[in-house]
Structure 1
Amino acid sequence: MDEEKQINRNSEGLEKISLGSITVSIDNAKNGANHPNVRHVPRQETVDVWSILSGSLLSEVRTRGTIKFKGVKNVYRDPRARFVVVDDNADTTKVLEVFTKGWKLGKPKLLVNICGGDEKFEVNNHLKEIFRHSLLHAARTIDAWILTNGLNSGVMKFLGRSLRDFAVSSANRRGKNTFPIGIVDLNTIENGSCFRQSHNSNSRCEVVYDTMHRDSDPDGDTTVLLNPYHPYFVLVDSDSEQSRSKCNEFRCTFMEKISNMKLMGTNTTIPVVTLVIGGGAQSIHIAHRLAMNRSPLVILAGSGGAADILEFAYRYVQSGGGIKREDEIKFTSGLNARLQSSCGPEDRVELLAKCKDMVRRKYNVAIYHLHGTSIPTGLSLCPVHEDIVEAIIASLPKGEKGNQLHLAVVWNLLELVKRYLKENRSWKDDDLHRSFEFALCNDQTDIIDQFLQHGINVQDFLNQSKLASLYAKIVDDCLLKDMLEEKRFQDTKPLYDRHEDYTFDNPMRELFIWAVLQMRIKTAKLFWFEDKSPLGGALLACKMMKAMSEYEQDPQQIDQMETLACEYERWAVEILDDYYKEDRRKTSLSIIRELEDWGRVSCLCLPHRKNETDYRSSSGSKPPG
């Protein structure tokens, strides 16, 4: 390491380790329980992430910096967009690291690639609703990235306005869930030379970009402004005369890299879907390349241009792929007529061949019709969907039965999860278990509840190995993780017999304790309702929270633990009162009965602090008169 590690000790035994501008303090003093405490001290100065990135990564970036759009009202928290300039042959893996390491964007749960033309685009109210209330809302809910050409023309100009309106209406801010990213051919941008002013990737520049000014390049070809409502740009610089094609190739390769990445916490790859809206010849070329790579497509029929041409082509596809021989002439003449209005004679021959190539094989395609018009029954491989998110899910590969359910869970789409569970009562256990585990780890209480209502067999789901896996996935920066790590190094005796398929007599109790220890009270309540001894569970949860608060150093965490302890205590008091109203003598027996699931202790043994006045004062805790 280039930077010198400095270790200083003060009189209180506080060991401070400085690594550059990052400072971490570790308190060596022990509290009453001999438990070491880790305290996170605010950074003394901002870390420049770019300064610690590898040289090979920075070599892919020719210029980096920020863009301040002049003449546009800012709708994001940060008024400046971020950009990098890269060559058309740049390593897309390293460019992707710019997003995750340089810009600190979390990996997406879905990538939606918007494919549309730069030509004039007619907008209707239905399309506005789709963009603003369906696509963008879903993208925000799902944690999706939206990939565009970043230009302020055609479909993307309309998308930019939708992004602006959505940001204002939903109080959406950069750094949250919706990340529109423009991958732009630098040669098509008006005033593109201002982004080439520096070739030193270690220095940042700020570009003030006038969105009100329009001009032409020296050759007389009109260039296009950047769309000011994109917070991130990758500007692709190419010396080739076919710079737009080179940029599209870079974009497709970038998408392929993302499609090979794993969703966080799963073995499922990140879904990548292309939404074809309008567009011209270039959009058909892109759609063909993606289709040949089996990348899913959603065609927005009724939006004109390439989308309508492709929708027409897929009308003639049989269920197994290909076109009936008797439909060949009608298919070819219809496509020719539609292609004639959007491209020249030479391009038409190539595009016709590509359209035929796409429909002759069975690929992952779904059609969303803008006007709700149905496609002739029996001819279409692709069903028409009323919801854009369902169309996206339907376009994804269907290699396994539980794929759609799992994605609905990963994307936290409660209504879709409800529908899938209701429509199919014969799910494979592996499909249910995979999705249920994801919901548990991500504290999706409502979805967990749906699985329990569906009747998932928790006894089969939870064995020793699975429970250990759930505890292993606890977030690092928390007291529980520290305590588990300390216990793991102290004890050499295994907690359980080493049988991975060992199951529990009461799996609901194990999941209840797991949720309580992570302070997930809503999830804990689901399993508490299912437990045979809810009184003991509530009191033990109260006791655990109060015990953990003695180890915690963060005042906010201590307050939260004490609040939760009071809530669990309230649960116990309410149960005792209900018992007491029904049968006083039976209540006394319930109180003194040893609880097998809670270490053979009685409810009277659980309260251990003088301030547990609610429990002591409860009518149910008093001897019957």
Structure 2
Amino acid sequence: MTTQDSYLSHGIGSIRRTAKRDKLYREVNAMSYGTIEFPDNRSKKAEFIRVSPDASINHVKELLFNGWSDSRPSLVISISGGAKEYIMQPKLAKAFRQGLLKVASSTGAWIVTGGSNTGIMKVIGEIVQLKPVSQLRSKPIKLIGIATWGCVTGVDRLDVHGETVRYPKYRGQKKGEAPLEPNHTNFIFVDDGGTKGFGGEIEFRSKLEQSISGMGVKSSREVQQLPSYEMRSNSQTQDASIPVPVVLLVIEGQL
């Protein structure tokens, strides 16, 4: 294949992915969707969608697998914790960071958080951003934030359809809302009609993660035996119905 043929093939593939993604946006009845550009992280743009709490879980899962990604994860790490500032002891912080990056990079895992620039969610974003040089050639880590629409600072600017939005760096935090963490690659906003009330996304996120996992529970040994990123299929369409193990990591208090 010549260089020109390669560029042509890549261009056709990109057009097909965009068409499929737009079709999935329609199927999920997206209330808003587009791309977020952060001032401190312009090289990484985050795609987002806004859905109602009763949106089809299967359609959202299909969007994750075949609209926003070109490869299937071997593992999904769901991280929950408080929004208060975290102070990690240096040794524990180093061990946590190295362990999370090793698992995520070696298995091509996706990480799911609440998406805001506070508490453990901010810590996870910073860990992904500070990826060590030894892992820079590995697959970029997909960091997905699932948040309540009415609790996002500056949410009005995200009420678009297919546009790229500049999301400024907000200083300070008002009660009942929080800014977005800029190292996330994707956001799913759940609009329950409320404003400044956290937790509207919890049930939706739980159902989505259960659907991804097929309600299966994996042992630690099974997680360790997951295939590496290089060993997985690179087919263009990923079967979203095949279960993917989901590991829940709950972090509270100071580490």
Structure 2 length-normalised TM:
0.77
Name the larger-Rg structure.
Answer: 1
Q: Which amino acid aligns with 1:270?
A: V
Aligned twin of 2:250: 276
Cα 1:105–1:235, aligned 2, differ >3 Å: closer, same or farther?
farther
Question: In the TM superposition, what are the counterparts of 1:489-528 in structure 2 within 5 Å?
Answer: none
Structure 1 Cα separation of the partners of residues 199 and 147 of structure 2: 11
Aligned twin of 1:527: none
Question: What SS does structure 1 have at the residue aligned with 2:49?
Answer: strand
Offset of residue 98 of structure 1: 1.2
Cα 1:187–1:258, aligned 2, differ >3 Å: closer, same or farther?
same
Structure 1 Cα separation of the partners of residues 129 and 167 of structure 2: 18
Structure 1 Cα separation of the partners of residues 24 and 171 of structure 2: 37
Q: Which amino acid aligns with 2:184?
A: H
Offset of residue 171 of structure 1: 1.6
Q: CA RMSD in A?
A: 3.2
Aligned twin of 2:182: 228
Structure 1 Cα separation of the partners of residues 66 and 152 of structure 2: 27
More strand by share: 2
Q: Which amino acid aligns with 1:88?
A: P
Matched length = 228
Structure 2 Cα separation of the partners of residues 52 and 163 of structure 1: 28
Cα 1:73–1:84, aligned 2, differ >3 Å: closer, same or farther?
closer
Establish whether residue 207 from structure 1 lines up as the match of residue 174 from structure 2: no
Question: What SS does structure 2 have at the residue aligned with 1:225?
Answer: coil
Contact conserved, 2:37 with 2:46, CA < 8 A, in 1? yes
Aligned twin of 1:62: 31
Cα 1:167–1:209, aligned 2, differ >3 Å: closer, same or farther?
farther
Offset of residue 52 of structure 1: 4.0
* 2:147 equivalent among 170, 178, 184: 184
Structure 1 Cα separation of the partners of residues 158 and 132 of structure 2: 27
Structure 1 Cα separation of the partners of residues 100 and 159 of structure 2: 34
Bigger relative contact order, structure 1 or 2, given CA contacts below 8 A and separation 6+? 2
Q: Which amino acid aligns with 2:33?
A: R
Cα 1:125–1:40, aligned 2, differ >3 Å: closer, same or farther?
closer
Contact conserved, 1:99 with 1:105, CA < 8 A, in 2? no
Q: Which amino acid aligns with 1:210?
A: P
Structure 1 Cα separation of the partners of residues 158 and 72 of structure 2: 27
Structure 1 Cα separation of the partners of residues 199 and 71 of structure 2: 29
Question: In the TM superposition, what are the counterparts of 1:59-208 in structure 2 within 5 Å?
Answer: 59-60=27-28, 61-70=30-39, 72-73=40-41, 78-166=43-131, 170-171=135-136, 176=139, 178-198=141-161, 204-208=162-166
Structure 2 Cα separation of the partners of residues 98 and 167 of structure 1: 30
Structure 1 Cα separation of the partners of residues 31 and 16 of structure 2: 18
Contact conserved, 2:47 with 2:185, CA < 8 A, in 1? yes
Gaps of 5+ in 1: 1-23, 25-38, 199-203, 279-302, 305-369, 371-625
Contact conserved, 1:151 with 1:225, CA < 8 A, in 2? yes
Structure 2 Cα separation of the partners of residues 130 and 276 of structure 1: 16
Question: What SS does structure 2 have at the residue aligned with 1:141?
Answer: helix
Question: What SS does structure 2 have at the residue aligned with 1:122?
Answer: coil
Using the aligned pairs only, state the percent identity: 27
Question: What SS does structure 2 have at the residue aligned with 1:135?
Answer: helix
Question: In the TM superposition, what are the counterparts of 1:396-415 in structure 2 within 5 Å?
Answer: none
Q: Which amino acid aligns with 1:234?
A: I
Question: In the TM superposition, what are the counterparts of 1:480-559 in structure 2 within 5 Å?
Answer: none
Structure 2 Cα separation of the partners of residues 126 and 105 of structure 1: 36
Contact conserved, 1:132 with 1:165, CA < 8 A, in 2? no
Cα 1:235–1:105, aligned 2, differ >3 Å: closer, same or farther?
farther
Structure 1 length-normalised TM:
0.33
* 1:258 equivalent among 194, 205, 212: 212
Question: In the TM superposition, what are the counterparts of 1:355-504 in structure 2 within 5 Å?
Answer: none
Question: What SS does structure 1 have at the residue aligned with 2:248?
Answer: strand
Structure 1 Cα separation of the partners of residues 159 and 8 of structure 2: 40
Q: Deviations over 1:463-507 (max 9, x none)?
A: xxxxxxxxxxxxxxxxxxxxxxxxxxxxxxxxxxxxxxxxxxxxx
Question: What SS does structure 2 have at the residue aligned with 1:159?
Answer: helix
Cα 1:66–1:270, aligned 2, differ >3 Å: closer, same or farther?
same
Contact conserved, 2:150 with 2:196, CA < 8 A, in 1? no
Question: In the TM superposition, what are the counterparts of 1:579-590 in structure 2 within 5 Å?
Answer: none
Question: What SS does structure 2 have at the residue aligned with 1:187?
Answer: helix
Question: What SS does structure 2 have at the residue aligned with 1:238?
Answer: coil
Larger CA deviation: 146-155 vs 55-64: 55-64
Question: What SS does structure 2 have at the residue aligned with 1:184?
Answer: strand
Structure 2 Cα separation of the partners of residues 158 and 40 of structure 1: 38
More helix by share: 1
Offset of residue 206 of structure 1: 0.8
Offset of residue 97 of structure 1: 1.2
Cα 1:170–1:223, aligned 2, differ >3 Å: closer, same or farther?
same
Gaps of 5+ in 2: 217-225, 227-231, 234-241
Offset of residue 223 of structure 1: 2.1
Cα 1:42–1:53, aligned 2, differ >3 Å: closer, same or farther?
closer
Offset of residue 133 of structure 1: 0.7
Q: Which amino acid aligns with 1:42?
A: S
